[in-house]
Structure 1
Amino acid sequence: MRIGISLMDRGGPDALRTFTDDVRQAADDGFSSVWLSHIFGIDALTALTVAGSAVPGIELGTAVVPTYPRHPAALAQQALTTALAIGDGRLTLGVGLSHQIVIEGLYGYDFSRPARHMTEYLSVLTPLLSGERVSFKGETIKAEFGLDVGVGARVPVVVAALGPRMLRIAAEQADGTVLWMTGPKTVREHIVPTITAAAAEAGRPAPRVVCVLPVGVTDDVETARVRAGEVFQIYGTLPSYRAMMDREGVEGPADLAVVGDEDSVAAQIEDLRATGVTDFVAGEFLGGKDRERTRAFLKSLQ
């Protein structure tokens, strides 16, 4: 199991410079990958292009770019350009549906057929990322498109997939899944068996399972969980994550944070390794000395 780090957009006019500095530090610390979400701050692929052009070697991934706001041909073109800028084999494109509250409430798009949308979206996106021309006419997506971007290696795609149907789509049409707010019991009993079986049935390679969770090394576990509950409160209200929390048997995001002293956090990460997770990605959320302690511990795992 590889160990990656989820970095935050720290905002402000220097956001790209500070993000690049953070990527450089992550590479120096030995992390296998850096992941950046695409929400309401800087554009994730643009930021990875800037940082990856300055920092060699480390894998860079989006976790995740929402599909609805961008036609798959437009996203493929941008991803291939990013891959061209940072070098073959370094970019992993994570995509996801986002949530009804965002897609309908903020963008004004119809969210009534999310699984159909993702299936058709990938039917255009993944061939274009492999350098193929696409002629596709679906119910939610249409494309007559070819791209001429000189990238040698195919850009792999992981899908934010939690439910059985989305996991099958990720197995059959992409390279795996990227998870958030999903605990070890759910990964072991639901995520890994479902996506692995679907990939085998489709004759595809074993899927990548990227698990992103908040991590904090501290002696004050109670305060850390309170902090996690405050920072990540919104995710307990979103239906897709709420379903995974209910399956896990936890009350909310605070219960999913990987917190404790070094031995405790190491045991929790090892538990995830045993479930079949291929990549564990740590999301640091504590400040001060606990933040320094967390990073020092994560460095020791490399």
Structure 2
Amino acid sequence: MTRKTLHLPVAAQPSIQSLVDIAKRGEERGYERAWVPETWGRDVVTVLTRIATETDEIGIGPSIANVYSRSPALLGQTAATLQEVSDGRLRLGIGPSGPAVIEGWHGADFDRPLRRTREYLEIVRAVTSGETLYYDGDIFSLAGFRLRCDPPETSIPVDVAGMGPKSVELAGRFADGWHAIVFTPEGMRERLEDLERGIDLGDRERDDVRVTLSLTTCALEDGERARDLARQHLAFYVGAMGTYYRESLARQGYEEEANDIAAAWSSGDHERACSLIPEDLLDDLGVAGTPDRARAELEKFEAIDGVDSLAIGFPRGATTEEIEATIDVLAPGR
């Protein structure tokens, strides 16, 4: 059975408590984990700490912590601390993010993202194991230090996010899991072939790697409102978040639509960008509509062989009440 987790809203919320309350509702409804995104709003560490201290069972994790804004050793320290705070409930998601955020917000060069991700993965594992760190990589050379505190009693799985063939192969070869976002069912099946290739190259077993697909979902009695919110969310990602999502959609057979949406958004015509998202694309990339329709749409993603977990996410424009309604409708066992 496919697990269900929550992908907390990427859009700004009224307060940290709002995010904590969403996670608590997820715990009450049986979701396995609360993933917290980090873009240019509240930092993920503080939010995860609050969630950990105000919940009892639900797992926590960043999806994703980028591999540019914190050093790999600091990210390892942070992971070890969050594992302690949460009593062993952390699963770490890392990845390069994209040049729009890394260069425009953090002021760092978006250099060698795949190599950098691999080195972060290796260094974080070394730090959290408690061993003395001796690392000689292409990007990082570190030596002589180890955690001053005891390492976590429960080891921390480290997942890698990626959309392109090589990044997914890297996840299969080295990571404990792969995080996918903005994928159609057919696009997921194609990328899972890259994951399998990475698993083979790493001489690993398929059970060693957990696949999590994040979905934009909105289940409301007002089905048209739900679909409008999902359409606005998708237009923003394709039009405003750099080239990664547009290129990913193009690889999945929607090149013309992706380019037209991005062109309309960049010209400032956001309404037209939303209108350029056809019904079939909306249904291919997310779950939106009335409760009955949303549950039915979710089944096609649950049926993808190789997806272990669906992360239920929410449109940027959704209200707290609409988020809560969607959590309830799509909860495990419903």
Cα separation, 1, equivalents of 2:295 and 2:234: 22
Match of 2:251 among 244, 247, 253: 247
Return closer, same or farther for 1:19/1:106 CA change in 2, 3 Å cut-off. Answer: closer
**Residue correspondence of structure 1 range 114-129 to structure 2 within 5 A:** 114-129=113-128
- For 2:148 and 2:321, how far apart are their aligned partners in 1? 49
Please provide the CA RMSD for this pair.
2.3
Partner of 1:102: 101
TM-fit CA distance, 1:288: 7.9
CA distance in 2, matches of 1:247, 1:65: 25
Separation of aligned partners in 1, 2:76 and 2:331 = 33
Does residue 294 of the first structure (1) align with residue 323 of the second (2)? no
**Contact 1:60 1:92 survives alignment (8 Å):** yes
Residues 142-192 of structure 1 deviation map (CA, whole Å, 9 limit, x = unaligned): 2223214331011111111111211122122211111121221111122x2
Match of 1:264 in 2: 293
**C-alpha distance in 1 between matches for 2:74 and 2:327:** 36
- Name which of 227, 230, 249 aligns with 1:228: 230
The count of corresponding residues between Structure 1 and Structure 2 is: 298
Write the mapping of 1:130-279 to structure 2, written as runs, cut at 5 A. 130-144=129-143, 145-150=145-150, 151-190=152-191, 192-206=192-206, 207-218=209-220, 221-237=223-239, 238-250=242-254, 251=257, 255=282, 256-275=285-304, 276-279=306-309
* C-alpha distance in 1 between matches for 2:132 and 2:236: 40
TM-score (norm 2): 0.81
Counterpart in the other structure of 2:52: 52
Structure 1 223/247 Cα, relative in aligned 2: closer, same or farther at 3 Å? farther
Q: Once the two structures are aligned, what percentage of the paired residues are identical? A: 29
The CA deviation at 1:292 is: 5.1
Partners of 1:124 and 1:143 within 8 A in 2: no
Shift of 1:291: 4.7
- Partners of 2:85 and 2:228 in 1: CA distance: 41
Q: Distance in 2 between matches of 1:39 and 1:161?
A: 16
Gaps of 5+ in 2: 259-273
1:81–1:149 CA contact under 8 A, matched in 2: no
Q: Corresponding residue for 1:283?
A: 313
After superposition, the Cα gap between the structure-2 partners of 1:128 and 1:189, relative to the gap in structure 1 and judged at 3 Å, is same
Once the two structures are superposed, residues 185-206 of structure 1 have per-residue CA deviations (whole angstroms, 9 ceiling, x without a partner) of: 111122x221123113312242
